[in-house]
Copies of this chain bind each other. A is one copy, B any other.
């Protein structure tokens, strides 16, 4: 298995990788969470050719195509693998269906038997097409950086326990309090599977990986330490061991005042800031060598115009001199006018 150690490959001229290595680069490199997706007509055209989201994510030709679309249109500094954090539970054998207007639906995993029924042995085989997508995209990214990703164990567990999205994931938190041993077992299983999954993406060509932890902020600090920080630290350590030099970006959404502790304790190379984070204050909370990624409000991108320009310039000014990757504070929304994205990239590039 070939290890991708970026320094030895001399790819450190890629602007985004330089930032992830701790170097401030001006203007900052830019990409956007969910930059491939429904707001783009060329995405909708590809999506119309398959029956559902899973078919799209597991057909390398099409998944590679939609991954590359925003690079062609906007010249983004990164390609983010087109996939979904729920591909892992699906590969573990949990049912998964994307229903229009309803989001993902899964049969809930709420007891020891349901956890025991998950089969880590399936993952490598089932997710093989995704590695083929990674290889195809890597061959095409040029100066851009290919970022692989997974959901964090906690956020993936949220959807697995709840059986889909939720406003407060009460069943998940209830399980964390009421069935702590079963919940820990589920997180351990997901942590191991996530290491294998991200490691395979790196071996296939991902130059950095990101852990999406959309629901990190719903936990009290005790459970945040146990179920967000500790599994993330284990994943980072295991990946550093297997793939030295390949950076990990953590995105603990709504971690709020605990973002500094998250950065210090997990050893991630970059922290994604959510919309609510104050970039200047975050820069004082997160150790100086750790890159910061973010954090324009996706709704400011929908609005465009002077409001978007002021927010964008403010974020860049607040993080000048820090290693910074410009991004949104949450995923792009389908209502986003594509021309606003073009304008945003211009704004960042001229900052």
Establish whether residues A177 and B299, one from each chain, have CB atoms under 8 Å apart when the complex forms.
yes
**CA of A330 to CA of B21, assembled, Å:** 40
Contact of B275 with A257 in the complex, beta carbons under 8 Å: no
Partner of A257, one of B167, B173, B257: B257
- CB contacts (< 8 Å) of A307 on chain B: these are 177-178, 180
Question: Any chain B CB within 8 A of the CB of A291?
Answer: no
Least CB distance from A110 to B in Å reads 14
A177–B176 CA distance with the chains assembled, in angstroms: 38
Q: Which residues of B contact A224 (CB under 8 A)?
A: 276
A176 to B, closest residue via Cβ: B299
Closest B residue, CB atoms, query A330: B168
Which single residue of chain B is at the shortest CB-CB distance from A282? B257
Q: How far is the CB of A263 from chain B (nearest CB, A)?
A: 13
| Minimum C-beta distance from A241 to chain B (A) | 30
Residue of B nearest to A276 (CB): B217
Residues of B within 8 A of A255 (CB): 256, 276
| Interface check A333, CB cutoff 8 A | yes
Task: Say whether A125 faces chain B, with CB atoms less than 8 Å apart.
Answer: no
A285 is an interface residue with CB less than 8 A from chain B: yes
Given contacts A275-B220, A303-B178, contact A173 B285 (CB under 8 A): no
Copies of this protein in the assembly total: 2
A218 located at the interface, meaning its Cβ lies under 8 Å from any Cβ of chain B in the complex = yes
Q: Contact size class for A?
A: 35 or more
Contact of A276 among B180, B256, B278 (CB under 8 A): B256
When chains A and B are docked, how far (Å) is the Cα of A114 from the Cα of B69? 41
A208: CB under 8 A from chain B? no
Complex Cα gap A151–B24 (Å): 42
Q: Are B275 and A218 neighbours in the complex by a CB distance under 8 Å? A: yes
Kindly identify which residue among B220, B257, B302, B329 contacts A174, using a CB–CB cutoff of 8 Å.
B302
In the bound complex, CA of A341 to CA of B135 (Å): 56
The proximity string for A residues 181-225 relative to B, scoring 1 for CB distances below 8 Å and 0 otherwise, is 000000000000000000000000000000000000111111110
- Which of chain B's residues have a CB closer than 8 A to the CB of A295? 220
A277 in the interface (beta carbon within 8 A): yes
Q: A268-321: which residues lie under 8 A (CB-CB) from chain B?
A: 275-279, 281-282, 285, 295-297, 299-300, 302-303, 307-308, 310-311, 314
Residues B254 and A177 in contact, CB atoms below 8 Å apart: no
Q: Mark A132-169, 1 if CB is under 8 A from B, else 0.
A: 00000000000000000000000000000000000100
Which 3 pairs, one residue from A and one from B, show the smallest C-beta to C-beta distance? A256-B256, A177-B303, A173-B299
Q: A170-B302, A176-B299, A178-B303 are in contact. List 6 more A-B contacts (CB 8 A).
A: A173-B299, A177-B302, A220-B311, A255-B256, A257-B277, A257-B282
